[in-house]
Chain A
Amino acid sequence: MVAGPAVFGRRAGLRQDHRFESRPERLCYGRVVFWILLATFLAYTIWRIFLGYPQPRRAYRIVAPREVAFLEAAGEATFPAGGAIPLSGRDADLPGYADGFLESLPRHLRLQVRAMLMLFEQATIFFPAPGRGGRRRFSSLSEEQRVAVLDGWSRSRLFLRRLAFTALRAVLTMGYLGHPIAMRHLRLAPLDFPSPIVEADLLYPAIGARKDSINWTEADLCESDGTPLDPNGPIHPSFRGDER
């Protein structure tokens, strides 16, 4: 139980000495100020973490608006427009990538990755960006400020900060370089070629299906002919479009 003002009042009534009269009042005011400060702090924290984010342009299954804002901002700072690859981090649909990635993770890891995104978004309180308003949320900073913040993480003397940066950049990079536009530009998109039908294909159905869905028969069996692939050959259909 936290002692409230009334308790102090009653105790004060037992004492007649005026030297003690002002103390409960002071304590009472102190408590009020404490509660006001706490409430303000909580309100600020809630606002800082959850509110004031724009509604995302499309719906996501897992990522929240605050994560969309952070991923777009971090993506833009990590892979700015006008670079050597004609795809910016903002255009690479990193929130879309992260949505699918998070969905595929076990719960405890999903929580860890989301906590990491929140850490970077909010840690400007402790590691502010240079210039005015450097303690704003990461996604509210100017692009130069975001670059400076990420630079601070990447060069930190603290191992754990560097590690966190490497983890964040890994998530962003996987999303960025996995994008069909980036893969095509680098001429690294997987090639399209037919898969031979082997004995195993007569045994295993597609994941989730039953074995009676297998359509191959022994007559279809064939094996790789070992011909080296032509690196300039057609690319796999899933890398031909402009969306992931």
Chain B
Amino acid sequence: MAGAAEATRGEVRVFAEYDRDFEEETDVVVVGSGPCGAVVAHQLAQAGRRVVLLEEGPPFIPSEFELEGSKSMSRTMREGGLRSTRGSILPTMQAIALGGGSLVNSAICVRPPEAVFQRWATGFDLEITNRETLDRHYDEVADFLGIAPTPEEVQGRRNTLFRDGCDALGYGSEPIARNVRNCRGSGECFTGCRNRAKQSMDISYIPAAIRHGARVLTSVQVQEVLREGSRVTGVTGRVAEPFSGRLGHRFTVRAKTVVLAAGCMATPVLLQRSGNLANRSGQVGENLQFHPGVAIAGFFPEPTTPQFGATQGYQSLHFLDEGFKLETLWAPPAVMAVRMPGFGHPLQEIFADFPNMAVWDAIASTHKSLGRVRARRGTLDPALTWHMHPDDVPILKRALFVLTEIYFAAGATKVTPGVNGVPEILYSRDEADVLLNHPIQASDLVCGGNHAFCTTRMHGDPARGVVDEYGRCHDFDNLYIADTGIFPQCPSVNPMFTGMALAHRQAEAILDRT
């Protein structure tokens, strides 16, 4: 091993610069640079702690963004964007990049309503996880990232049509608050913001952390958490070549405190591969939940110019009590097209109508649909199992119906619901009743699940959860988890903001204790 380096100067290291095995020693090592890990790293570095942030993916600059959907996914997403659960088949995407999911997500920032926290508190013995205590953390993150409602000028027609439809039906809707500054409405959040408007972690918290002295090592795959007796002592792993994943030099980072922020799929795998660490409760990798989402397209008589507008500019929280949230959506056309029905000339005709299209989606709170994450031999990619509970299917049915209703209220002439056994195209509000009346099963729905949680859940009772309310592992004093895996249940709204608020609070707890 090369000599140990002092982790005092802020800098970033990239793949081309690793020419030997290495060892470092620091106060805190954070594994994973997604929204949660980046916030913890920044807060601790700002407070003067020596921080090393480790990230398996590379940093992306605008010239590296692929504009074509599948090429982009193969570069920025784990398993080329083709990751999926077994049991009920649910495609799910996790990023591999500096900034984690924030590089490819739509920057939607929503605080869950108090009812969600009440559910968490009563179900999981939590005392200090509520809006009152967390609002300060939400506020600080919001100030830092410039979180604000999407301005009207960059909404674009496909977003405002959603508002029109909701207004016509008396459903509440509002512009989505996003961590974005000076959006120009390119609708390209999914492939990376070439406009540098989206405040993804790689251009916001991470550069700021570096300014405060953090060392950011990219293209390093952490493979094991090191332990001595009742404490963890650091992590070890190997340099990973961008895209090919080929493994090279070995490294070890020794630290007084270890924060795992590798995401709710990777963190449990790391724990399982480190001798089933922190798992006295038996809950590591269990309780996997998603917000299964359905997206449907509506076609309007006039052009919607869909290539212009904020990627996701409008939302409705009107139906949260019924278990779903509605949003507008855009992604590269080739990705959108995957959900269109049929083939041959009829499919091409649908494509030809894309300039008049708007796509909206619903994400559902499906508390009964659970799964698990398991380590697989020879890889850190997880084996995922998940089952959609039959009781949760009616939530998605109802969401599909409401979306269709909004489309027709906004003036759409046809809607493609994408449900097996239901007509491929619906031409009127009356025809939409089939979505409620037809006996739809889980396997009839084409869902996706990019919001994932609960695999290392927090619980007041150490026998029933992996971490406490500050994200500290019940089994280890100096091991923390900071990612959406610590959510006790799904948050019913987009998770990133809550993940960051919890991470912000966790950083304060670490500072208090070390």
Contact = CB atoms under 8 A, between A and B. Distances in A.
The answer to whether A and B interact is yes
B306 interface: yes
Contacts of B349: 83-84
A163 interface: yes
Contact of B342 (A154, A176, A196, A236): A154
A79 B347 contact: yes
B16 A209 contact: yes
B12 interface: yes
Given A83-B349, A109-B82, A178 B203 contact: no
Given A84-B345, A174-B70, A224-B181, A105 B14 contact: no
A80 B351 CA distance: 13
B197 A226 contact: yes
B348 A193 contact: no
Contact of A154 (B63, B332, B343, B381): B343
Interface stretch (B53-61, B366-374, B388-396): B53-61
Given A83-B348, A200-B203, A224 B343 contact: no
Contacts of B334: 173-178
A196 B186 CA distance: 14
Contacts of B335: 174
Contact of B71 (A109, A178, A193): A178
B185 interface: yes
Contact of B243 (A104, A182, A195, A227): A104
Given A159-B443, A174-B69, A199-B203, A207 B344 contact: no
B16 A210 contact: yes
B196 A195 contact: yes
A147 interface: yes
A178 B184 CA distance: 23
A79 B342 CA distance: 11
A9 interface: no
A104 B71 contact: yes
A186 B196 contact: no
Interface in A154-169: 154, 159, 162-163, 166, 169
A73 interface: no
A238 interface: yes
With most chain B CB atoms within 10 A of its CB, the pick from A188, A198, A208, A225 is A188
Contact of A104 (B80, B98, B348, B446): B80
Interface in B208-247: 210, 242-243, 245
Contact of A85 (B69, B183, B306, B352): B352
Nearest to B211: A199
B68 A163 contact: no
A204 B343 contact: no
Contacts of A109: 79-80, 82
Contacts of A147: 343-344
A196 B343 contact: no
B422 interface: no
Contacts of B185: 228-229
Contacts of B151: 226
A6 interface: no
A78 interface: yes
Nearest to A113: B82
Contacts of A99: none
A14 interface: no
A100 B243 CA distance: 13
A77 B420 CA distance: 22
Interface in A48-102: 77-80, 82-85, 100-101
Interface in B156-213: 181-186, 188, 194-197, 202-203, 206-207, 210
Interface in B62-83: 62-64, 67-71, 74-75, 79-80, 82
Contacts of A190: 67, 186, 188, 307
B282 to A, nearest CB: 29
Contacts of B351: 84-85, 177, 182, 186
Interface residues of B, number: 72
B196 A170 contact: no
A24 to B, nearest CB: 49
Contact of B207 (A105, A177, A188, A203): A203
A223 interface: yes
A129 interface: no
Contacts of A169: 338, 343
Contacts of A201: 61
A180 B184 CA distance: 23
Contacts of A236: 67
Contacts of A227: 184
A226 B352 contact: no
Contacts of B5: none
Interface in B29-56: none
A238 B338 contact: no
B15 A208 contact: yes
B182 A226 contact: yes
B274 to A, nearest CB: 23
Contacts of A106: 79-80, 245, 381
Interface string A106-124: 1001000100000000000
B181 A223 contact: yes
Given A109-B82, A210-B17, 10 more contacts: A78-B343, A85-B351, A166-B446, A177-B351, A186-B333, A193-B195, A203-B210, A208-B242, A228-B153, A228-B308
Interface of A: 77-80, 82-85, 100-101, 104-106, 109, 113, 147, 150-151, 154, 159, 162-163, 166, 169-170, 173-178, 182-183, 185-191, 193, 195-196, 198-201, 203-211, 223-229, 231, 236, 238-239, 244
Interface of B: 12, 14-17, 58-64, 67-71, 74-75, 79-80, 82, 89, 98, 151, 153-154, 181-186, 188, 194-197, 202-203, 206-207, 210, 242-243, 245, 305-308, 332-335, 337-338, 340, 342-345, 347-349, 351-352, 354-355, 381, 420, 443, 446
Nearest 10 Cβ contacts at the A-B interface: A226-B182, A104-B74, A83-B348, A84-B352, A204-B59, A195-B62, A177-B334, A224-B182, A231-B308, A200-B203
20 contacts: A79-B343, A80-B345, A83-B344, A84-B348, A105-B79, A109-B82, A147-B343, A151-B343, A166-B338, A166-B446, A174-B70, A177-B333, A200-B59, A203-B12, A204-B60, A204-B98, A207-B15, A210-B16, A226-B184, A239-B67
